[in-house]
Amino acid sequence: MKLFFSIITLTFYSNILAQNVLNRGNGSEPDSLNIHQAEGLNSHNVLRDLYEGLMTLDVKGEPIYGMATSHIVDNNLWIFKLRKNAKWSDGSSVLASDFVRGWQKAINPKTVAPYAFLFNNIVNAKTITHAKLTPDHLGVKAIDDHTLQIKLIQHDSAFLEKLSLPIFYPLPKITDSDHQIISNGAYRLQSWNIQEKIVLNKNPHYYAKNKIYFDQVNYWVTEDQSSELKRFRTGELDITESIPDSQISWIKQNLPRELHISPYLGSFFLGLNISDENLKNLPLRQALSLAIDRKILTEKVLKTGQQPAYHIVPRNLTGDQNNHNPTFNKSLALTRLNESGVDINNLKIEILYNNSENQRKVAIAIAAMWRQTLGIKAQLLNQEWKVFVHSRKSKSRQAFRSGWIADYADALSFLELFTSDSRFNFYHYKNPAYDDLIEKIRTSSITFTKNQLVERAENILIHDMPVIPLYYYVSRHLVNVQILGYTDNISDRHLSKYLYKEAKP
Which domains does the chain carry? 21-210+480-498 (3.90.76.10), 263-475 (3.10.105.10)
- Could you tell me whether strands 21-25 and 216-220 are parallel, antiparallel, or unpaired per DSSP bridges? parallel
Calculate helix-pair angle for 357-374, 225-233, nearest 10 degrees. 150
Distance in angstroms (rounded) separating the CA atoms of residues 383 and 20: 35
Q: What is the DSSP string of 5-61?
A: HHHHHHHHHHHHHHTTEEEEE--SPPS---TTT--SHHHHHHHHHH---SEEE-TTS
Structure confidence at residue 446 (pLDDT): 83
Whole-number Cα distances in Å, 387 to 31, 128, 199: 9, 30, 23
Alpha-carbon dihedral sign for residues 448, 450, 451, 457: positive
Q: Where are the alpha helices (DSSP H) in 291-356?
A: 294-296, 330-340
Total number of residues shown for the chain:
505
Q: Are 288 and 370 in contact (CB under 8 A)?
A: yes
How many Cβ atoms from other residues are within 10 Å of residue 171's Cβ?
22
β-bridge partners, 140: 150
Distance in angstroms (rounded) separating the CA atoms of residues 473 and 493: 14
Q: Are 478 and 239 in contact (CB under 8 A)?
A: yes
Q: Are 306 and 269 in contact (CB under 8 A)?
A: no
β-bridge partners, 239: 24, 479
Whole-number Cα distances in Å, 377 to 125, 366, 372, 373: 46, 10, 9, 11
Can you give the pTM of this predicted structure? 0.89
Q: Would you give per-residue pLDDT tens digits along the chain (505 residues)? A: 333 334 333 433 444 444 699 999 999 999 999 999 999 999 999 999 999 999 999 999 999 999 999 999 999 999 999 999 999 999 999 999 999 999 999 999 999 999 999 999 999 999 999 999 999 999 999 999 999 999 999 999 999 999 999 999 999 997 655 457 999 999 999 999 999 999 999 999 999 999 999 999 999 998 899 999 999 999 999 999 999 999 999 999 999 999 999 999 999 999 999 999 999 999 999 999 999 999 999 999 999 999 999 999 998 777 665 555 568 899 999 999 999 999 999 999 999 999 888 999 999 999 999 999 999 999 999 999 889 989 998 889 999 999 999 999 999 999 999 999 999 999 999 999 999 999 999 988 788 888 899 999 999 999 999 999 999 999 999 999 999 999 999 999 999 999 999 765 5
How many Cβ atoms from other residues are within 10 Å of residue 436's Cβ?
12
Q: Strands, E, within 136-292: which ranges? A: 140-144, 147-151, 187-193, 197-202, 216-220, 259-272
pLDDT by residue (tens digit) across 243-270? 999 999 999 999 999 999 999 999 999 9
Whole-number Cα distances in Å, 100 to 69, 121, 157, 163: 18, 16, 22, 13
Cα Rg for the chain, rounded, in angstroms? 24
DSSP 239: B
Q: Where are the alpha helices (DSSP H) in 170-328?
A: 225-233, 248-254, 282-290, 294-296
Distance in angstroms (rounded) separating the CA atoms of residues 97 and 147: 9
How many Cβ atoms from other residues are within 10 Å of residue 85's Cβ?
12
Q: Are 357 and 404 in contact (CB under 8 A)?
A: no
Phi, psi for 269 (deg, rounded to 5): -145, 165
Mean pLDDT of the chain: 92
Alpha-carbon dihedral sign for residues 94, 100, 103, 108: negative
Structure confidence at residue 344 (pLDDT): 94
pLDDT by residue (tens digit) across 137-174? 999 999 999 999 999 999 999 999 999 999 999 999 97
Reduce the DSSP state of residue 90 to 3 states and report it: coil
**In the chain, what is the straight-line distance between the N-terminal and C-terminal CA atoms, in Å?**
36
Distance in angstroms (rounded) separating the CA atoms of residues 67 and 94: 8
Q: Are 405 and 41 in contact (CB under 8 A)?
A: yes
Distance in angstroms (rounded) separating the CA atoms of residues 95 and 84: 8
Q: Are 86 and 65 in contact (CB under 8 A)?
A: no
Q: Are 239 and 479 in contact (CB under 8 A)?
A: yes
Structure confidence at residue 320 (pLDDT): 61
Distance in angstroms (rounded) separating the CA atoms of residues 271 and 273: 7
Which amino acid, 111?
T
Longest pairwise C-alpha distance within the chain: 86
Q: Are 470 and 369 in contact (CB under 8 A)?
A: no
Which amino acid, 204?
P
> Phi-psi region for residue 326, left (φ > 0), alpha (ψ -120 to 50) or beta?
beta
